[in-house]
Amino acid sequence: MKKALLIILALSMAAVLMLGGCSGAAGTTGQPVDADTQKAEDTEDMNNGGDKTIGVVFYSKTDALGSVVYALVNEAAKTWGLNVKWEIGGLDNDTQLNSVQNLISGGVDGIVIIPLADTVTQKTSEMCEKAGVYFSLCFRDIIDESIRRQVTSNPYFVGMTFEADYDAAKEMVKIAADAGCTNAGVGYNSPTVPYEKQVTAGFNDGMEAYGINKLAEYTISDTGDANVTISNIENFLDAYPNMDMILSGSGSQGMAEATVQLLTSTNVKLVTRDFFTGMEEAFNNGTLAVACGGMAPDALYSLAMCYNAVAGTPLSDSYISCRQKYIFLTSAEECKTFETYFGSDLSRVGDIYTADYLNTLVRSNNQSLDAQSLQEMMDAYSMEWIQKQAAYAQ
């Protein structure tokens, strides 16, 4: 009965987060995009009375990541007097490219995009260079070397922000080891996932550095099928009675929720990427050791570098490449604090990202701002920083 309930949970969550590591599996046809059939699900104009407009192409504004990105970008734009045109919901390459075309036709000065594939980045670069529109990437590096060379030589390419996946993966293992875990069953990401190499290397180096024994491993379904996770962990529990942790490269699409239910009556703890529903309860019952996520500010800094470029105060003479740190939740108390500001009610996001802080991301207000100092601001991100910002707001 328990297994049946877990399977139902897994299936009900399976479509929650399609872009939790989009690999670019959706193909770009290379043909002209049909504007009548390849439209974003939602378009919005946020007019803040400014003389500059940036278009944002993002996959969602309602899931756990998209909702915070939407709130942060709008908070910053309101503070800066920047107009924003949103193109939301494109989950295939052609729809994203149509969104880029629409924004350029609509007269935007810059574009921030989370591209589904390097080919989307390549074609966005070509369109923006032809139109004289600045653009930046959020949550994405450029993997293909030939495309990287082409894009980074474009004078209208401002830069990119992407997650520090290797460092985060290794730190997850350290936190688990510090909590007393020693024997792991490991769920590695599929090679189709863009961050797979970095996360796998971080896990492996972390286990070697911090004395964690890998008892067994499996590959997480690249379609987000939580039943694969459930089946493998059940096998691990039967085969390895001394296993005390599951180290997982992904907890999205219902995988983390199903795993904590499965582990509830055991002494095995979950160590996972991705925040998920029910974390506070999982910490309270001792099932969850650490959850790694909270990378939404990535898009804020991509927006900042793009805005500075269109405002005529670029942060660098070349393109910028910045890494976004993750947040590590290790207790129910930390979970509650994070949920207060970045949970379902985002009305208090301005308590953390205050107008004073946001204005330091604009070079006309902060003459010392450059690519290096922007990275330093991003490096300050942690639960301690969030708690400090929250204390100032009280």
How many structural domains comprise the chain?
A: 2
Q: How far is CA 131 from CA 35, 109, 110, 111, 137, in A?
A: 19, 10, 10, 12, 17
Residue 27 lies in a domain: no
The reported pLDDT for the residue numbered 41 is 81
- Radius of gyration of the chain from Cα atoms? 21
Which residue type, as a one-letter code, is found at position 63? Answer: D
Are residues 132 and 172 part of one domain?
no
Query: What is the CATH classification number for the domain harbouring 381?
Result: 3.40.50.2300
- The mean pLDDT value for 41-51 works out to 94
Percent of the chain clearing pLDDT 90 (strictly above): 79
Is a pLDDT exceeding 90 seen at residue 9?
Answer: no
Last residue of a domain, one of 291, 315, 339: 291
Are residues 223 and 124 part of one domain?
no
DSSP assignment of 347-391 equals TTHHHHS-HHHHHTTSTTT-TT--HHHHHHHHHT-SHHHHHHHHH
Distance CA 43, CA 93 (A): 17
Q: Tell me the angle at which helices 165-178 and 196-210 cross, rounded to the nearest 10 degrees.
A: 30
Are residues 222 and 320 part of one domain?
no
Q: What is the mean pLDDT of the chain?
A: 90
Residue 176 lies in a domain: yes
Are residues 247 and 134 part of one domain?
no
Q: Tell me the angle at which helices 255-263 and 226-239 cross, rounded to the nearest 10 degrees.
A: 30
Are residues 256 and 172 part of one domain?
yes
Contacts 24+ apart (CB under 8 A), 32-35: 33/94, 33/95, 33/97, 33/98, 33/101, 34/98, 35/98, 35/101, 35/102
Residue 307 lies in a domain: yes
B/e letters for 4-34, b = 16+ CB within 10 Å, e = fewer, are eebbebbeebbebbbbbbbbbebebeeeebe
pTM: 0.83
- The mean pLDDT value for 278-301 works out to 96
Are residues 274 and 177 part of one domain?
yes
Are residues 265 and 189 part of one domain?
yes
Is a pLDDT exceeding 70 seen at residue 3?
Answer: no
Does residue 85 sit in helix, strand or coil?
A: strand
Structure tokens at 134: 């600045």
Distance CA 299, CA 69 (A): 6
Distance CA 381, CA 363 (A): 20
Distance CA 1, CA 7 (A): 10
Number of neighbours of residue 155 by Cβ within 10 angstroms: 10
Does residue 160 sit in helix, strand or coil?
A: strand
Residue 87 lies in a domain: yes
Q: How far is CA 192 from CA 189, 199, 210, 235, 314, in A?
A: 8, 13, 28, 24, 35
Distance CA 158, CA 390 (A): 31
- The mean pLDDT value for 127-132 works out to 99
The reported pLDDT for the residue numbered 194 is 75
The reported pLDDT for the residue numbered 28 is 38
Are residues 277 and 215 part of one domain?
yes
Are residues 180 and 130 part of one domain?
no
The reported pLDDT for the residue numbered 173 is 99
Distance CA 252, CA 258 (A): 10
Residue 359 lies in a domain: yes
The reported pLDDT for the residue numbered 311 is 98
Q: Closest Cα partner for 328 from 162, 176, 139, 141?
A: 176
Is a pLDDT exceeding 90 seen at residue 394?
Answer: no
The reported pLDDT for the residue numbered 259 is 95
Residue 248 lies in a domain: yes
Are residues 318 and 280 part of one domain?
no
Residue 199 lies in a domain: yes
* Structural domain harbouring 168: 163-291
Residue 43 lies in a domain: no
